A and B are shown apart, each in its own frame.
Chain A
Amino acid sequence: MNIMQMFPLASLTSEQLMCLLPLFTISAGGLFSLLVGTNKSNGHGYAFIVSFAAVLYALIEGCSNLFVSDISLLQNTLVLNPFTRSLNLMIMCFALIAVVLTYGQDKKEGLLAEIYGLILFSCAGMMLMVSTSHLLFMFISLEIMSLAIYVMVAMRRSSRFSSEAGLKYFILGGLASALFLYGSALIFGSTGSFELSTIAHNVQMGQPSIIFYIGLGLVTVAMLFKVGAFPFHGWLPDVYQGAATNVTGYMGAGVKFTAFMAFAKISQHLVFNESVEGLHWFHSFLWFVAAASMIYGNVVAISQTEIKRMLAYSTIAHTGYLLLGLIVVRTGVEDTRSLIIYLFFYALSNLGVFALISLFEDKNQKDLNLEQMAGLGIKHPILGALFTIFLFSMAGIPLTSGFIGKYGLFSSAVSRGEVPLVVIAVLTSVVSVYYYLRVIVYLFMKESTGEMATLHRLKGPTVAAVISALATLQFGVFPKAVIHFVKMFAR
C-alpha cells in the first residue's frame, strides 16, 4: 500500500464539510476562547461567551444535518452516520452544561480562563472517539480528550489535593494509554489491520495467534482503566475528590460516556465475536469485573462520610451496571440502545449533583462532609429538593430518569440470558439506596451540630442544576421521546 492510497489528497466535498462543521466549530471555538481568555479585565467572561456560543452553534448545526447521508473519511477511519452524529449531539449537550456549570465556579476556585478552551478541546476528542472504529485513531482521540482532562483536574493550582489528583490521574492514565497503544500494535501485527471490522473478518478467516489474544487483553485492560472498573479503579476516588467540582461533573459525564461507547465498539467486534475460539475467557473476565465492581463500589460507598468520595464509589458501582449492559452488546448498534439511554440519563444527573455540591463548597475545600450538610435542605428547600431528585435518579427510583435507564438495561440483559448478573445488580442497587437516602436524611431530618456549609450564590451552577433536574424529571415521567429517538438512530 503506498502513501497516495492511504491519504488520497483530494479536498473535502461540501457535503463532508457540512458534516464536519460541528467538530470544526468546537475546535475553533476552543482556540478562540483561549485567545480572548487572556484579556486582563474580563477574560473569564469573554471565554465563557465564546465557548458557550461555539458549543450552542455546533449543537444546532449537528441537529440540522443529523439525517443527511452517511459520510466516511480516510477509508472509513472517521464515519459520520446518524448513529455517531447522535452520540456527538449528546456529548455536545454535556459540554454545554459543563460550560454553564463552570461559569462562576471558575472565579471562586481560582481556575484560569483556559478551562473553557480545555472543555471544548476534550469535547472534540470525545466526538472523534465515538465516530471512529480505527484503533490508532481511537488512541489519538483518547489522548486529545485525556490530555485536556489531566490539565483540568490539576487546575486548582493553590490546592494540594488538586495537584495530587492531577499527578495520580496523569500517571495511571498515561499507563492505560500506553497499554492501549501496545495492545493495538500487537493486534495490528497479528491481523494486519487497525480497522475493527477488518480485524474481526481476518480473525474469523484464520485461527488468531497468541499475540492477538495478548493484544486484545491489553486493550481491554486499558479500557477498563479508563471507565474505572473494580480492579483498576484506584485513581477514581482521589481524582473525583481532588479535582474542582465542575471538572468532576464533566469527567463523570463525558469521559464515562465516551469510554463506554468506544469500549462497546471494541468488545462487540472483537470480544463477543462468537465464531472465534477462546474468546469466552474474555466474557467470563468481563462478567467477574462487572460483578466485582457492583459489589465493591456499593459496599465501600456505605462507609464514606464525604459526599464526593461517596459519589466516586457509587460511580464504580454504576460502571458495574454499565458493564452488564456492555456484555449483552453482540451484533450491530441495536444492542447499544439501553446502554446509551442509561449513560445519557446517568450523565445528566451526575452533572446536576456536582453542580449542587459546587454551590456549597468553599475555595480549595477537599470535600463536603455529611455533617456539614445536616439541615441544609430545611434552610434551602429548593436546592434540597433538587438534590433529592438527582440522588433518587442515581438510586433508580421511579418518576426519575435513572429508573428508566436501569429498567431498560436490566430487562435487555435478562432477555439475553444474563440472569445471575442481573440478580447481583438488583441486590446491590438495593444496597445503594441506603447510602443515597442517608444523604437525604442528613439534608432534611438532622439538626445541624457543627458549622453548616455556606451557600455561594453562583449563577452558572444553579442554572446547570435546574436544567439537569428538569431533564431528569421530564425524561423520568415521559421517557418516550428519548427512547424513540434512540430507536430511530440506533438501527
Chain B
Amino acid sequence: MTNDLLVQCLAAFLFTVGMMVVLLRRDTIMVLMGIELLLNAANLSLVGFSNSSQMIEGQMQVFFVITIAAAESAIGLSILVNLYRNFGSIKTEIANTLKG
C-alpha cells in the first residue's frame, strides 16, 4: 500500500467516524466535534491529493477551510449557549418542541 492511498484511506475513515458521531451521539458538544472531524477529514484528503499530484491548489484551500471551521465552531457554541439558556440542557432529545 502506497503512502498516498494510506492517507486517503485514513481521511475516508475519519470522515466515516465523524459522520457516525454526528448522526448517533445525543450530546450536542459531541455533535459539534463530529462536524469538526468531518471538515478535518476533508482537509486531510485535500492535502493528500495535492501532494500526490504535485499541485499546490489543494493545500492552499486548506487554510481557508480551517478559518471557516473556526468560525463555524464559534457560531455552534453560541447556539449551544442559547439552547442551554432556554432548555436547561444540551442533550439533543430535549429540543423537540417543533413537530407536525
A165 lies within 8 A of B98 (CB): yes
Query: Per-residue 0/1 for B62-100: is the Cβ within 8 Å of any A Cβ (1 yes, 0 no)?
Result: 001100100110011011101101110000100111101
B65, B79, B100: the one within 8 Å of A166 (CB): B79
Query: Is A185 on the interface with B (CB-CB < 8 A)?
Result: yes
Known: A147-B75, A163-B87. A306 touches B49 (CB 8 A): no
Chain A residues in contact with chain B, CB under 8 A? Answer: 1-3, 6, 136, 139-140, 143, 147, 150-151, 154, 157-161, 163-168, 170-171, 174-175, 177-179, 181-182, 185-186, 188-189, 192-194, 237-238, 241-242, 304, 306, 309, 366
> Could you say which interface size class chain B belongs to?
35 or more
B75 lies within 8 A of A151 (CB): yes
Known: A164-B97, A171-B22, A182-B38. A188 touches B76 (CB 8 A): no
Q: Which chain A positions have C-beta within 8 A of B28?
A: 167, 171
Min distance, Cβ B10 to any Cβ of chain A, angstroms? 13
Known: A136-B61, A157-B82, A167-B83. A309 touches B100 (CB 8 A): yes
Can you name 9 extra interface pairs (CB under 8 A) apart from A154-B82, A174-B38, A194-B61?
Answer: A170-B79, A174-B35, A174-B76, A175-B22, A178-B35, A178-B38, A182-B45, A189-B8, A192-B53
CA distance in complex: A168, B82 (Å): 13
Q: Which chain B positions have C-beta within 8 A of A177?
A: 39, 72
Most A C-beta atoms less than 10 A away, residue of B35, B52, B58, B79: B79
Min distance, Cβ A141 to any Cβ of chain B, angstroms? 11
Known: A147-B72, A147-B75. A188 touches B97 (CB 8 A): no
Query: Is B17 on the interface with A (CB-CB < 8 A)?
Result: no
Chain B residues in contact with chain A, CB under 8 A? Answer: 8, 11, 15, 18-19, 22, 28, 31, 35, 38-39, 41-42, 45-46, 48-50, 52-53, 55-58, 60-61, 64-65, 68, 71-72, 75-76, 78-80, 82-83, 85-87, 92, 95-98, 100
A178 lies within 8 A of B71 (CB): no
- Majority DSSP secondary structure for residues of A touching B: helix
CA distance in complex: A237, B100 (Å): 9
7 residue pairs from A and B, CB less than 8 Å apart: A147-B68, A150-B75, A151-B75, A157-B82, A164-B98, A177-B72, A178-B42
B57 lies within 8 A of A166 (CB): no
A188 lies within 8 A of B58 (CB): yes
Q: Which residue of B lies closest to A239 (CB)?
A: B98
Q: Which residue of A lies closest to B64 (CB)?
A: A140
A2, A163, A238: the one within 8 Å of B86 (CB): A163
Q: Which chain A positions have C-beta within 8 A of B22?
A: 171, 174-175
CA distance in complex: A432, B60 (Å): 48
CA distance in complex: A171, B39 (Å): 13
Q: Which residue of B lies closest to A143 (CB)?
A: B68
B79 lies within 8 A of A150 (CB): yes
Q: Which chain B positions have C-beta within 8 A of A161?
A: 97-98
Q: Which chain B positions have C-beta within 8 A of A306?
A: 100
5 A-B pairs with the lowest CB-CB distances in the bound complex, closest first = A178-B38, A189-B49, A164-B95, A182-B42, A181-B42
